[in-house]
Amino acid sequence: MPFTTPANHDVNHHEPGSDLRRIDEGYLATWPPRAQQLLRAARRLLVKKGFDALRWEAIAKEAGVQKSLIRYYFGDTTGLLRALLRLVSQDATLWLVERVEAMPDGPARLRSLVYGSMELIKNAQYLASLDILPHALRDDKLRGPIMELYRWWREMDMRCLGVTPTQDNVKELEAISSLVVAAVDGIAIQSALDPEGYDPAPAFAMLEQAIGLLLKPYHGTESFVRPDEPER
């Protein structure tokens, strides 16, 4: 199942203990109550203990339900992980897209994308999703869901660029979106490895300038390089 934007998300929900305003529970609400319990339990284990903690016995115990319900609702481990990936990545990404699309095209929109991404990498769920990636390189069953996730991320970032795709420019816009995804993931990994010593802000400032130069031909003479300090 490809990644899609849920129609029933709540843009006013705030995750407890986080300053990241997330469009939470949109995807989760599409599942029956006990499936929601399992997904919430799997999410907690992934965030707290990492990918290796995602065993059926541990998830069922954390959720307080029978292990057989995992097979009933998700079919197999791949089905569960596919749903979990959507849960930990989709809602937070949609928070970013709504934030960016509220801005006018041009420097303000680009700035919102870049510094919204800097907020996103502080989110525990986003960081937890990175723990799954190495396993996808070795597991063909995981490769498909991860591939779908990255394709969707690129589509979302392309929406944020503020340029209407055409037959002439779509390949270039896809390439720019791919660069944004790669840069954000790379910065997130470095920040997660050294949260006290690594400051991601200078890298994001350079990313803003680089993407601005790539987008400049699509926005006439409007300057994308802004010398003032980024919004916080």
Calpha distance 204→208 (Å, rounded): 6
Check if the beta carbon of residue 73 is closer than 8 Å to that of residue 32.
yes
The whole-model pTM stands at 0.77
* Angle subtended by helix axes 140-160 and 107-120, to nearest 10: 150
Per-residue pLDDT of the chain (232 residues; tens, 9 = 90+): 443 433 333 333 333 333 333 444 578 888 999 999 999 999 999 999 999 999 999 999 999 999 999 999 999 988 998 899 888 887 778 888 888 988 988 888 999 999 999 998 988 888 888 888 888 888 888 888 888 888 988 998 998 998 989 999 999 999 999 999 999 999 999 999 999 999 999 999 999 999 999 998 887 645 454 545 444 4
Which residue from 85, 126, 121 is spatially nearest to 3, judged by alpha carbons? 85
Calpha distance 33→91 (Å, rounded): 18
Calpha distance 223→2 (Å, rounded): 36
Identify the structural domains of the chain with CATH numbers, from first to last: 28-219 (1.10.357.10)
Phi-psi region at 50: left, alpha or beta (left = phi > 0; alpha = psi -120 to 50):
left
Q: CA angle at residue 208 from 203 to 214, to 5 degrees? A: 125
Token representation of residue 133: 């990636």
